[in-house]
Structure 1
Amino acid sequence: MKKTLLFLLYFVAVQAAFCQVRGSDSKENLQKSFLAYNKLIIDQEFEKSLDYMLPEFFEIVPRSQMVTLMNQIYQNPDLDFEMGEPTIGEVGDIRQIEGKYYSEISYSYDIKMRFNNMEKSDDEEQNRMNQNLLRLALEKTFGPGNVVYDEESTDYNIHSIKNAYGISENGNSDWKFVVVEKDQKFILEKLLPKELTQNL
């Protein structure tokens, strides 16, 4: 009896340790996938980057339209746009909900934007007001204090802080991603379980 009890305790301890290692591996796989996804975007390999997005998203916005939109951002002659690699802040616990696994990721990255062909006035005060209005519009998207205008280079330097969800069928591999944009809650509600979107 004692041997059976000891074996049972040993088996439970080994299983717990295995689960912890698997959880750690799963988070590592999630982070690697997320960085690979972002690298493809930075390298403008948009078609490949979409393999990391939820297939259900393309029922809302067709895949070909997404590629066109991404190309328009990066190839717009009126905008110089440069995005840095993301820094992952925190990866939440992997939770099983309705047969899929979810983990929230907080991350940040830096963007440089330069608006070409902006109307310049002979009135310096008018130019400064236009720059401030544009900075305020960008701050509405990226948050107060996260946008700095560089008068010398005429770049807007932006620090973007975001959240995303990683979604996997098995909780370990083949991670897909959805970026959390609060003003697109109606889209997120079609892609994520209610308990993940109700507090947005």
Structure 2
Amino acid sequence: MKNKFITILFVLISVLSFAQAKGSSEEIQIKKSLTYFVNSIKAKKMNQAVDCIYPKYLTVISKEQMTQILEVTYNNPLLKIDIGDLNFGVIEKPELIDGEYFSITNYGFKLQCDVSSTNDETQNKIETALNTKYGQGNVKVLKKGIYVINAKMRACAISKDKKYWKFLILEKNYKPQLVRILPKKILDKI
């Protein structure tokens, strides 16, 4: 009797552990879509990356402008950025609002930023901006003009069918643009 109880308990714990590790199907799809987005940027396929952005946002900033912003940021000879070690934090359960599902997604990655080809003044300004944006404890100087950043990010994943997700980066300074396209319930979480 004692052996049966221990066996049943072990099986139950194993099943529960597997279920928690696996995550919901929505969570898996969000991770898959976000990984595709980040890998598109990493591979410098900016048009592909822009296709991962929530289409309503492209009514605020045109697709061409967004592509250009990504090109200048991630494909710039003066500002070399490498993305690595994508990891996921809490992914909220999707909420249905006006026919679309919204999920706040926490994620992070390591950025290596090399601006060593710029002058000292520019390097100092960039270092200050990185510390302001990511927090002083998350920016390490490898050597003058080369930084490793532990970037902790938040995005809103949006889908009509819970299978294909589009994204918006959530930062307080983007809120004036996002007010026009996100429901108040989601905006209140920024």
- The reply to whether residue 105 of structure 1 matches residue 105 of structure 2 is yes
Q: Is 79-88 or 37-46 further displaced after alignment? A: 79-88
Give the match's secondary structure for 1:149: strand
Give the match's secondary structure for 1:162: strand
Give the match's secondary structure for 1:190: coil
Structure with the greater alpha carbon radius of gyration? 1
CA-to-partner distance for each residue in 1:108-131, whole Å, 9 max, x for gaps?
Answer: 1111111133335xxxxxx8xx86
CA distance in 2, matches of 1:54, 1:80: 26
**Residues 115 and 123, structure 2, Cα contact 8 Å, conserved in 1:** no
The unaligned stretches of length 5 or more in structure 2 are 1-18
Aligned to 1:32: 32
Match of 1:158 among 134, 143, 149: 149
C-alpha change, 1:149 and 1:37, in structure 2 (3 Å) is same
Match of 1:136 among 128, 132, 145: 128
**Residues 116 and 146, structure 2, Cα contact 8 Å, conserved in 1:** no
CA distance in 1, matches of 2:53, 2:71: 17
Give the match's secondary structure for 2:136: coil
- The reply to whether residue 81 of structure 1 matches residue 73 of structure 2 is no
Q: How many angstroms does 1:70 deviate by?
A: 1.3
C-alpha change, 1:30 and 1:72, in structure 2 (3 Å) is same
CA distance in 2, matches of 1:60, 1:88: 28
CA distance in 2, matches of 1:192, 1:84: 29
CA distance in 1, matches of 2:58, 2:96: 23
Aligned to 2:177: 187
Aligned to 2:158: 167
Amino acid at match of 1:70: L
Give the match's secondary structure for 1:82: strand
Amino acid at match of 1:191: I
- The reply to whether residue 45 of structure 1 matches residue 42 of structure 2 is no
The unaligned stretches of length 5 or more in structure 1 are 1-19, 121-126
Q: TM-score, normalised by structure 1?
A: 0.76
CA distance in 2, matches of 1:134, 1:112: 13
Q: TM-score, normalised by structure 2?
A: 0.80
Aligned to 1:145: 137
Give the match's secondary structure for 2:88: strand
Amino acid at match of 1:190: R
The percent of aligned pairs where both chains have the same amino acid is: 25
Amino acid at match of 1:175: W
CA-to-partner distance for each residue in 1:154-186, whole Å, 9 max, x for gaps?
Answer: 41111110111111112x212111110111111
**Residues 116 and 123, structure 2, Cα contact 8 Å, conserved in 1:** no
Aligned residues: 169
Amino acid at match of 2:109: Y
